[in-house]
Each structure stands twice: as structure tokens, then as C-alpha cells.
Chains A and B, each alone.
Chain A
Amino acid sequence: MVRTAKVTDKLKQIRIFPHRLLLPETAEKLLNELDSVKGVVRMLISGKNLPRKITCGPGTGMDVNHPDRIIIHVSGSAFELHVIVGEVLVEVDDESVVEEIKKACERALPFPFEMKRGYFIKSKPTLTDYGKYGFKSRTDETINLEDERILGLIDPHAKVETNLCIVKAEGL
């Protein structure tokens, strides 16, 4: 991981919106295809929650055991899916790889999808982020994060360990 990495305005983001909610196998295939494209900096998956336990009604507290809440492997790293994947936000360092990303999606998705370019992931820390990470020092009031690319990838209230997967690039 690059130390003291910052989010710059040069980076471009792409929103991939499949016409169906993805099975874990398809999500795994899509993420691996996207990861194989050179120039991808980070990816954010979102979708509907797959709860571990029932949270309301007479069955509150019972296990759900949803078959889609499984461990998937992306670029050698394993993580548990907490959502049924409905959209993927991809950040790339150069707009020239957009076509490559489209081809990767076409290889992985057996149904239509939409792609939009823009800024979808938050780039500046908010009050909650400062509450969580704090300032660098008494004199330096920038956010106390080694890698600012973490911002916007997870909810500030969520645990980093269970929601963030860091894939180390070669040579770092």
C-alpha cells in the first residue's frame, strides 16, 4: 500500500449497474475481471444487506443463514459478502481504461448493465471521519490517515477489518 496516498482530482470513477442483483459467484467473477484491468485503484461494492440475524418480528435474534452470505476470493484475498451485490464503483487512474472495464464487465455479466462516469465516492473527510480518525497532530489538522483512499469506502461507524479488503500490489 502506498503510504500517505491522497485522493486527487485526476482519478475517475465508474459506476457499474447490472440489471440483476448478482449471485456471489458472478460478483466474484466480476470483481476479479475488474481487478485484472491495469489502472484500477479501488473498488466499492454495494447492495442490499444480508443480515446474520433476524432483527425484527417474532423471530428476532435467530440466525438467517442466507446462502449468498459466503466468502469470496478476489485477487487472492478472501472476504465475506455482507450484501447482495447491486452495484460496483470503480476508481481508475486514467480514463483510457474505461473501455477495458466495459470489456471486463461484458465477460463477467451474462445480462445487460449500465456504466456511468463521474464522482461517486466521497473524497473529503467529514466530521464523522474526523471523530473516528482524529487530526494528525496539534499543529497539523489534516485527517490522521496513512491512506486517504480508505475514505468513502466504508461507513465511518463500521469496522474496518470486516468491511475493507486491501489487496497489496506487487512491489509494495
Chain B
Amino acid sequence: MAYKPQYYPGNTSVAKNRRKHMAGNLEKLRDISDEDLTAILGHRAPGSDYPSTHPPLAEMGEPDCPVREVVDPTPGAAAGDRLRYVQFSDSMYNAPAVPYWRSYHAAINFRGVDPGTLSGRQVNEMRERDLEEFSKKACETEITDWGLAGMRGCTVHGHSLRLQEDGTMFDMLDRRRLEGGVMVMDKDQVGVPIDRKVNLGKPMSESEAAKRTTFYRVDNVSFRSDKEVVEHVQKVWELRTKYGFVPKA
């Protein structure tokens, strides 16, 4: 029987969603064109060449190194792209992704990525064309609900606030908003206006978000209701506490 990774314990919908995010088994919910994605990332003009920070690896003449022979460079590293970032903020009111799970998703499913996890936001750094591939997956799939999450390079405030009346997460810089039942974004991730209105699709309904979330909440699926997860977390804490503690030594 082939090995199947066991990413996370638990039988609740939240635990199942967490496993899905880690395995990269995400349902695609919307289409965002490459040009639109480049525009909202804001690192280069849509349609322009990728600026590079060094010549392509094939032209550089790499030193003799067994590791370099074993590991293929990512397309971005091979081309010498710049390192760029994308940052997401997710509302604690049942957004699909918890910052930690965005990091797990990035680290397990993508190469050459440096995920940074904070309490209310999550940032990923990687080579520019790798970043666009990663961002496309993050933006188009169920890991992001544009009503309850936002691509925010700065001024990320909103994660722990009450939702707005229209059910979307507050955005101080008004990068994306609900217009005619769909989320539209007319600024890039740092709030600089772009030359288009990017359609980000319909936001999830409250019940849909509650079904797809990876947040444990007392008013939805509580952490304590998942005995297997509690047992697992307690075991990890116990082992971490005991680790290296040898009284006789």
C-alpha cells in the first residue's frame, strides 16, 4: 500500500479542511487572469518582462556541488528573478485560512518559498515567477474568500475586527470592496491604484464560510469538540516540555 501522509488529526470539518490545505487539495472557485493577478500584486507592470537580479543559472557556470546536481532550481531561480512577496490577511470570523495554515500550505506544496507567519497575516517570499504561480493558486482556490480575506502588503488591519455591515472584512485602504454582489479590487496590495477593476468573484455566504473555515470557533466548531486534536496537541506539548530534560545527567 502506498504511503499516505497524515497531515493533521481530527474528524471535524475544521480538521478536514486543515488537512486539505496542507495537502494542497484545494477546490478552484474562481478565475483570475494572469494580467489581473500581476496588477494586484503590484511588483511589475502587466505584460512587462521579469526584472532579474542575476543572470540565468545556465549562463552563470555554477560551481561543482552535489546538492546543486540533485536539486533542480525553481523556474524563478533558474531565470534569476527578483525575490518578491505576497501577503494575506484573514478574518477570524470564519475565513477559510488561518495564517499558520497558509504557511503549511506554502511550505509543503511549493519550493523556494519563505513563509512568514504572524497573528493576523501571513507573508510569502519567493522568486517572482514562482510567486505568481503560488499567488494564482492562493487567489483562485478555496483557501481565499475575498470577502473574509485580503491581499494586503501593508496596513493589514482587519483580522480581529468585527465584520462590516455587508459581511466583508474591514480594509482601511479600501483596496477591495463589495460591488454588485462581487468583490472588486482596484488597487494593488499596498494601496496604489491600478488601471483596472479586478473581479474577484462572489464572497462566500456565512454558512459556506463556516463550512470551509480552518478556524476553530466556539460559535462554529469548537476546538474542544475535537477530542483527537486535543489529544494530539497535548501530546506535542508534553513531548516538547520533556524534551531534553534528563535529571540524572
Contact = CB atoms under 8 A, between A and B. Distances in A.
A67 B42 CA distance: 22
Given A56-B155, A57-B153, A21 B190 contact: no
Interface residues of A, number: 26
A57 B177 contact: no
7 closest pairs, A vs B, by CB?
Answer: A57-B154, A59-B192, A57-B190, A59-B191, A66-B174, A23-B165, A21-B164
20 contacts: A20-B163, A20-B164, A21-B163, A21-B170, A48-B170, A51-B172, A51-B173, A56-B154, A57-B155, A58-B153, A58-B154, A59-B154, A59-B190, A62-B191, A62-B192, A64-B173, A64-B174, A64-B191, A65-B174, A66-B174
Interface string A57-98: 111001011110000000000000000101000000000000
Given A56-B154, A57-B154, A62-B191, A22 B165 contact: yes
Contacts of A18: 162
Interface string B179-212: 0000000000011110000000000000000000
The B interface is mostly helix, strand or loop, or mixed, namely: loop
A49 interface: yes
A26 interface: yes
Given A21-B165, A23-B165, A57 B191 contact: yes
A58 B190 contact: yes
B164 A84 contact: yes
B157 interface: yes
Contacts of B172: 48-51, 64, 66
B238 interface: no
B161 interface: yes
Given A58-B154, A58-B192, A66-B172, 6 more contacts: A21-B164, A50-B172, A58-B190, A65-B174, A66-B173, A110-B165
User: Taking chain A's interface residues, is the majority helix, strand, or loop, or is none over half, making it mixed?
Assistant: loop
A19 interface: yes
A154 interface: no
Contacts of B190: 54, 57-59
A21 B161 contact: yes
Q: Indicate the member of B42, B153, B190, B193 with the most A CB atoms within 10 Å.
A: B190
A95 B155 CA distance: 41
Interface in B1-56: 42
A26 B191 contact: no
Given A20-B164, A23-B165, A59-B190, A84 B154 contact: no
B166 interface: yes
